Amino acid sequence: MASELAVHRSQLRVRYAETDAMGVVHHAAYVPWLEVGRVNLLRAAGAPYGDIEARGLLVVLSDLQVRYRSPARFDDLIEVQTTLIALKSRQMAFRYRVLLHETGATCVEGMTSHIVVQRATMKPVLLPVDLHDLLVPWLVRE
């Protein structure tokens, strides 16, 4: 069920500070964009990340993969497509496509995995049931 509804779309515009001396966006600058997509998906799901932290939990990143296809440039309008692809009791994962809004060209494809930890101890804990239930409708099994 790769529902189009479950793909969250965020838009942002490339900042000059995100470019490098190659004249294009620096490869590290895409990583916070994936975070923007993920945070916006959580908000859309009714589980804003700030609320998760307010419970004393952190959702920490355990794994990051990015494949670079074609460069984005200063002032390009960017779309970040975010999909929740795994949702387990202790782990979740997202897939991303970052593309140029104007042409649809793919800039990067990415994947991140996350675990939930208690802020005080940094020990892994179960994803709270209500958060799990809010995220289930967004899950796309691949």
Q: Enumerate binding residues for a second copy (CB under 8 A).
A: 13, 15-24, 26-28, 31-32, 35-36, 39, 48-50, 53, 58, 60-68, 71, 73-75, 119, 122
Q: Which is nearer to a second copy, 35 or 79 (CB)?
A: 35
Residue 128 CB, shortest distance to a second copy, in Å, is 18
The nearest distance, CB 60 to a second copy, in angstroms, is 7
Maximum Cα–Cα distance for the chain, whole Å? 47
Q: Which amino acid is at 24?
A: V
Which residues, 6 or more positions from 59, have their beta carbon under 8 angstroms from its beta carbon?
49, 52, 92, 114, 115, 116
Shortest Cβ distance from residue 30 to a second copy (Å)? 9
Do 87 and 133 form a contact (C-beta atoms < 8 A)?
no
Whole-angstrom distance, CA of residue 6 vs CA of residue 138: 5
Nearer to a second copy, 27 or 55 (CB): 27
